[in-house]
Amino acid sequence: GAGVSQSPSNKVTEKGKDVELRCDPISGHTALYWYRQSLGQGLEFLIYFQGNSAPDKSGLPSDRFSAERTGGSVSTLTIQRTQQEDSAVYLCASSSQLSGGGEQYFGPGTRLTVT
Amino acid sequence: AQSVAQPEDQVNVAEGNPLTVKCTYSVSGNPYLFWYVQYPNRGLQFLLKYITGDNLVKGSYGFEAEFNKSQTSFHLKKPSALVSDSALYFCAVRDMGGNNRLAFGKGNQVVVIP
């Protein structure tokens, strides 16, 4: 079946602009995660959704970052007033409650470059 | 907090030789451990997991991993490396605090030399 999809695959934006990143999880997966991958920081957890609610936002680096999930499916990560340190690859993952191990399946990522 | 460590930065191995990528973990309670692989400009692909049971876990593409509780290790292994195995490998542990987030190691670049 279809995997996790993300769009856009690449985004170049000017410092100070807002960006929206989209994630479409595997159908039926109730849990959705956002991670950020950068050279200096490795893979960092950002936020977790169970259904439409976000019980854990502890990884969001600042109040410029927000995310929502609608209909228990698609999620959007929004970064306001982008800064150069926001440049990274943003990865989305989903998992099924039915899987005993809870392994997460990742999308291809969105590479964000802030100039 | 749960964490994993990957002590090496890069692993070089000749094609056909055994490949080992090391991972140690630090958890309270029983660990849920994972290995992922990332090819250039791609997302992470799930390779295998350890939850409970047999200490030797078999996964995709001929990879396996051995869980060792006394050494708190979960090393990834492949008996005979292929050039196509050249990629970035991540070890991860699942947070058992309710959100199931993954805490990743820094990653190991594996280079298989023809």
> CB A55 to CB B99 under 8 A?
yes
- Taking chain B (114 residues) in runs of 10, the rounded mean pLDDT of each run is 90 97 92 93 91 92 96 97 96 82 93 96
- Min Cα distance B62 → chain A (Å) is 19
Which residues in B lie closer than 8 A to residue A95 (C-beta atoms)? 100
Q: What is the 3-state secondary structure (H, E, C) of chain A?
A: CCCCEEECCEEEECCCCCEEEEEECCCCCCEEEEEEEECCCEEEEEEEEECCEEEECCCCCCCCEEEEECCCCCEEEEECCCCHHHCEEEEEEEECCCCCCCCCEECCCEEEEEC
Q: Which tens digit of pLDDT belongs to each residue from A57-87?
A: 889 999 999 999 988 899 999 999 999 999 9
What is the per-residue pLDDT for B67?
Answer: 96
Q: Write out pLDDT tens, residues A41-63.
A: 789 999 999 888 887 888 999 99
